[in-house]
Amino acid sequence: MPAHKMNSMNNVREALLWASSFLGEAGTKDPRFEAELIIRHVLRMNRASFLASMPDPINDEEIASIRVLLERRAAHEPIQYILGEQNFYGRDFIVAPGVLIPRPETELLIEQVLLHSQRIWSAEQPLSIVDFGTGSGAITLTLAAEKPNWQLATVDISLDAIAIAKKNAERLDVAERVRFIQGDLVEPILDTGERVDILVSNPPYIPSTDVDELDKEVLGYEPRLALDGGTDGYIFYRRICEALPRLLAPTALVAFEVGIYQAEAVAQLMKESGAIDEVFIYPDLAGIDRIIVGYRLHN
């Protein structure tokens, strides 16, 4: 970025125009919007204040900070990592390179868990929930925030992910109802012998050979551990489904997010476990089968 041009910005409007142009030349996805987000982040403004501040002067220190963030974005670092957060289901979550950035499709997983839980249990029923693959905590902590009478456990092999999720739990004031467990998928829960009412997971599901073909914003910055689903993309679904008979309470709900073209195979794994009586498949907004829900009704 030519320093003299950036340093010659006199007000917020000029900074926005220059930043938008710079990101556009770098080929980012939405340069005008992302330029605004970066400038608002540096100036610590909400959108209303930002729009009202267009004629206001901008100082050299602010320009320097904006420049650093713009250069990171021009290198295709995800905007969420640059800003340090991502909105999910109406709440802001801390994100960092140690965790996968929550996607909009995963909000559908939350919606289906909440919907189907209401069909099985009363709204006041205290339930035990486990989430395999903590990440930022978006799934576990959203469910905790939506359902104050639920007790939740979440398992991740990454200590970095657990550390970030704990910060998010404190931010959302749900930490007292969530257990954070560092371990290898189902093993820590199997070791305790406990049974859960709801099992939810958005595990890594991209086949190993496809991971290297991902967009550079994903492959270059997001943790491979949170993306790579093994040779065929099903390794974690198999492990979870094989353990379902030992994990689920007599009446239970299982919900997965899956990748493109994976829904039928994962649904079959659930049925073959012998622990699931009914399976439902739901598409995302693009029409891709994305959410699998299974019932266990062995009362």
Q: Pick out the residues of the known binding site for S-adenosyl-L-methionine.
A: 133-137, 156, 202
HEC string for 185-221: CCHHHHHHCCCEEEEEECCCCECHHHHCCCCHHHHCC
Identify any residues that bridge with 231 across adjacent strands, giving them in sequence order. none
Identify any residues that bridge with 281 across adjacent strands, giving them in sequence order. 292
Are the CB atoms for 197 and 127 separated by under 8 Å? yes
From residue 243, give the alpha-carbon distance in Å to each of 162, 183, 222, 263. 23, 15, 28, 19
- Beta strand 248-257 pairing with 196-201: parallel
**DSSP secondary-structure letter at 101?**
P
Where do the DSSP E strands lie in the chain? Answer: 85-88, 91-94, 127-132, 150-156, 178-182, 196-201, 248-257, 278-283, 289-297
User: Residues of 21-57 as b/e, b for ≥16 C-beta within 10 angstroms?
Assistant: ebbeeeebeebeebbbbbbbbbbebeeeebeebeeee
- Answer positive or negative: Cα dihedral of 133, 139, 145, 147: negative
The residue behind tokens 């200590």 is 159
All residues at 6 or more sequence positions from 118 whose CB lies less than 8 Å from its CB, including other chains = none
CA geometry: angle at 27 spanning 25 and 31, to 5°? 80
Question: Which residue numbers belong to the known binding site?
Answer: 133-137, 156, 202-205
DSSP reduced 3-state for 53: coil
Question: Which residue numbers belong to the known binding site for substrate?
Answer: 202-205
